[in-house]
Chain A
Amino acid sequence: MSKKIGLAKKEARKGFSISSIYLIYAAIFWGYPFVWLFILLFSKWRFVGSPQFVGFRNITRVLTDPLFWKTVTNVFRFMMYYIPLVLIGALLFAIALNKIKFGKTFVALSFLVANVSSGVAYSIMFSNLFSVNGPINKALNSLFGITIPWFTSPQWAMFSIALIVIWKFIGYYGLILYAGLTAIPKSLYEAAELDGAGSLTKFFRITLPLLNPSIIMVLVLAITLAFGIFTEPYMITGGGPMRSTLTPMMHMITTAFQRMDPTYAATMAVFVAIISFGMIWVIRKTMEREVDLV
């Protein structure tokens, strides 16, 4: 008996000491930055000397900074194009993938290989493909006689960035939805068919409701991506034209390392995080449904 207790104690000590490797790591690379985040939030500091406490000045500055809110509006414009298009596209892709029998692997892989394109290289690739004299415009010109200022006009630039991010992520989201789709039992559809349900009824009454967790998952991923977007606008438009593609992350990096104002930049980052949390919370609260797949 006493030996057993001794063993359990030994096991507990071992388990905790191994886990504390991670706790130490987290304390240094997560806890310490977290404490700094609070210091930055309430001080003025330009990387030299020690931070000076300024109360809520950074926070009121964010609230009244038109440029910061412009960048947030830009993210919302990005989401306005990106989320509906990528969600509907990924849904159609998932349904089609579920239906096709020949060349399924080829189709899945050609959509997914876009996802592993490296941010910098793919931005360079698309800035050339969509340049004013680029191949896309050449094709459009010879087919319809139009030339579109993809990345060079304030009206088009954010839409064009949304398009290329769709190229990258539609297969990824599509596969998440496909996994959800294959988990729906076939018997449900068969039962609905016996009751005389058409394919539209089946889609809106069975597929869409039972796919809810996967759709929420895709929405959360898309929102997180939108608020963190950096490489594409940095590489392709540099935030222009007329700041129409300036994103919070670009604004944060310039503020911190070119204007040497890390405290304000960190405050903006916290605001962006809060806004994205808020959006995700609202979506989960209003759209999330419990789904029981048996």
Chain B
Amino acid sequence: MDLAYTQEEREFRARLREWLAAVLPGLPPRPDPADWPGRRAYDAGWQRLLYDAGYAGLHWPADAGGRGATPTQHLIFLEETERAGAPYVGANFVGLLHAGPTIAAEGSPEQRARWLPPVLRGDEMWCQGFSEPGAGSDLAALRTRAVRDGDAYVVSGQKIWTSHAEVADWCELLVRTDAAAPKHRGISWLAMRMDAPGVTVRPLRTLAGSTEFAEVFLDEVRVPLAHRVGAENDGWRVTMVTLSFERGTAFVGEVVACRRTLDALAAEARRTGRWDDPVLRRRLGRLAAEFQALWRLTQWNVSEAQRSGGVPGAGGSVFKLRYSHARQELYEAAAEVLGAGDALDLDREWVRDRLSSLSYTIAAGTSQIQRNIVAERILGLPKGR
């Protein structure tokens, strides 16, 4: 067990720090969250900066245009960018972490050449068309259908919870290409243009008041057969390849940010005198243990992935379960630090974060589904009711 970073890793960190210190002061101000075109331009600009500096697609394989970095280097990248207050991956999330890696792993040479470079440069944004009203955590229950018609599929159905749908150029779309096949078969993975005729985007308002995601209605949208990645009816396997890579490092930056928030809560409580309440103080102390452990668990999982050649282990579900609840606890404590006077003031960042933290035990597989996964796939308990 060695938590020390290698010489190479330390040099990587130092170069990255230097670059961040040089480039961040020149960034334009962050756009208002409601300003979607502004957000897209901002996220694209950040991606372009990363690209020009050689940090784009850090964890992608080199033959897909990436840097082929180790999981530890990726960990350092996420940690340092968060610590420096750099922009989050934002609207580039699906392209960089989902669709891109999927195309890199499963796409034809033509598909890789067409879709990967624009993702790395920040020229094209992707969104994810997986979830449906009748298929949330039970992803394979999706019903959106695609019927062959000449050189294209004709797609009809509805997607939901589609983040960044308003600004995306492409959608990674799961469709049913064989209605008679068993649930997990008969699914195909398509790349669909968001400006294709028949695509309608309707933003959904979250309980936090924002429009982070949308419903997407598909009415006889034509998607060229050439835009299918992987074999027809093999989309479920293609998707699982991608999803398993999401878990390992998806929350690294957030854990760093949570610890910083905790420090700020303690400072605020000291300032207002609430720190004298031992119940609150001890609650914050316990949260410190929580985020410290989550950071170490991340390092454990990344080290495990590195040893197994980049394949994430089962630790991702364990981490996701613990982290999503810890994050909610953090903002419950924040409300107590703020006190009744400020805990409902939407101009306070912690109040908005408290609201958005409610999504964490739901998004990317609810905690209940995650527990089933842990019990069945890791502990080997029988499938059942």
Bound pair (A, B): no
Residues on B close to A: CB < 8 A? none
